[in-house]
A and B are shown apart, each in its own frame.
Chain A
Amino acid sequence: MIRINNNDFNILELNKSATETVVMIHGIFTNLSVFYFSVAHELAKKYHVVLYDLKGHGLSETACSGYDLQSASKDLLGILYELHIRKAHLTGYSYGGLIALYMAVYYPETVDKLIIIETPNLNDGQSRPLLEGYNKLFLDRYLAGLSVSTHMIPSQRKIDKIHRQVQYLFEHTTLKEDLRRDLDLFDKIAENNPVTNETLLLYATQTECANAAAFLHQHIKKSSLYYGKGDHSIPVQNPEWLVDKIIKFL
């Protein structure tokens, strides 16, 4: 655990002796394990890999506020500072990709190459159920879909735990308002194409974020876009494809 901005963060480092660092940022309502068992250790054969749980996720501490992209980026800057990393490749999955993009726009001096996996545009309508707050039925449907796509059936204790965690974040923190505050990130990216990093866009063949993929490809000059077999759970379904693409890109 490392204390950053008055919050405890669960951080894991792999292959600390490597010269280049890859930071991996998970999505909302998941945790660093989405990368741990597959992608991270393959990348760690060559790179220093930093995994961390976002605020209020995994084993990191939950705070009442600070779930917007600016706060999340400041948390990440604090982690980089604490670990003495001046510049890193950022890999962001889903919402984590928005944090990576935000870092590239506002703190470009800290970002080397960008890898964006299945990242949505919060403002394109697809993410509306997420922005409307805790919805038991929606979450049950989401978890049921996740079980089908990952072939895993969570126990009732696990399902209850996820419900409690999501409900708490929506009803007792500023998460909902914070998510709404960041709807304009893609507009900012379109305004004057501020992301100049070499960027790898990795999306699933059954993605629900195809518009976001095309948008980012259009507005990030040095970007390449690939589609791999799977859906939004592609880090679990098809990690070999992700590893192959990322290693070739880096």
Chain B
Amino acid sequence: MDTVILNKRRQSEIVFKQLSKFVGDIIGDDVIEQIGISQESIFTKNLEMDSIEIVAFAEKVKQKYGREIDFISWISGMEFQKLYNLSIGQVVDYIVNSNDSN
């Protein structure tokens, strides 16, 4: 049981690192350094990403994980308000949990 939890935590860390890199590629590593990034960071608020930057992020996630998960269906199925309040941690959880169930 502990091994499962540890593996999941490790997976989350790896996915978070990858997603943070995507965000850095889009809004600039210098901006990330300034404002900071964590699992709780909300794309539109804390990271101040605008819609076209979130599209670029979604495309990067699709390219990286698209074979394993249906990220776009998940994100497209969200109400706009939910999408507006989406955090990087929620995307991490979705990817890690989808990998578990595959």
Contact = CB atoms under 8 A, between A and B. Distances in A.
A12 B81 contact: no
B71 to A, nearest CB: 11
A33 B51 contact: yes
A53 interface: yes
A116 interface: no
A149 to B, nearest CB: 11
A12 B72 CA distance: 14
Nearest to B47: A155
B76 A41 contact: yes
Contacts of A36: 51, 55, 58
Interface string B62-90: 00000000001101101011011000000
Interface residues on A, range: 20 to 34
A200 B45 CA distance: 37
A31 B52 contact: yes
A17 to B, nearest CB: 15
Interface residues on B, range: 20 to 34
Contact of A42 (B44, B76, B80): B76
Interface string A23-42: 00000000111101110011
A158 B72 CA distance: 24
Contact of A151 (B45, B55, B72, B81): B81
B13 interface: no
Given A31-B51, A157-B48, A158-B50, 19 more contacts: A10-B52, A12-B59, A31-B52, A32-B52, A32-B55, A33-B51, A33-B52, A33-B54, A36-B55, A37-B78, A37-B83, A38-B80, A42-B76, A59-B56, A150-B80, A151-B80, A151-B81, A152-B44, A155-B45
Interface of A: 10, 12, 31-34, 36-38, 41-42, 53, 58-59, 150-152, 154-155, 157-158, 161, 236
Interface of B: 44-45, 48, 50-52, 54-56, 58-59, 72-73, 75-76, 78, 80-81, 83-84
6 smallest A-B Cβ distances: which pairs? Answer: A33-B51, A58-B52, A31-B52, A41-B76, A33-B55, A157-B48
